[in-house]
Structure 1
Amino acid sequence: MERMIQIHIEKLPEGVYLATSDDIQGLVVQGRTVSETLEIARDVARRLIEAQTERKKTIKLKPIRKSFDLDLVVGN
């Protein structure tokens, strides 16, 4: 089942991107590009959800609506 989580991304002075989420405790990842950072964040989020499910903890995530707005990053 797909769920929607909110990700916060910021570019650090070192030139890498840091992603965190208030929706999933412990989600902190970094990557060289926004795309790479999102890919890593998706994988880490999936693993954190699986681990918390195994421990019988419930994570309340928003279901994906039929439509939603999303910012798209496009490079030159």
Structure 2
Amino acid sequence: MEKIINLHIEKLPEGYYLATTDDLQGLVVQGKTIAETLEIARDVAHKLIESQVNITLNPVADSFDYPLVIGQ
């Protein structure tokens, strides 16, 4: 079953993107692009979930909003 983790992403002055969340303790990642940051966050989330026993995440609802980021 898929679960949702709400990420907060901000662009750092150095040009990198930083992703954090209140949903999963310890998830703090950065990448050169938003896509890279999301990929790293997904990998780290999987590892954190595997290493922790009592994690409660929200299930994916039948409908939800998703911001689609498009580069030009």
The percentage of aligned residue pairs carrying the same residue is: 67
Q: SS of 2:22's equivalent?
A: coil
Gaps of 5+ in 2: none
Count of residues paired in the alignment: 72
For residue 69 of structure 1, what is the aligned residue in structure 2? 65
* Residue 35 of structure 1: aligned partner: 35
Cα distance in 2 for partners of 1:29, 1:45 equals 10
* Displacement over 4 Å in runs of 4+: none
User: 1:72 deviation in Å?
Assistant: 0.8
TM-score (ref. length: structure 1): 0.92
Query: Cα RMSD between the aligned structures?
Result: 0.6
Using structure 2 for the length normalisation, give the TM-score: 0.96
Q: Show the counterpart of 1:17.
A: 17
Gaps of 5+ in 1: none
Quote how far apart the aligned CAs of 1:34 are. Answer: 0.3
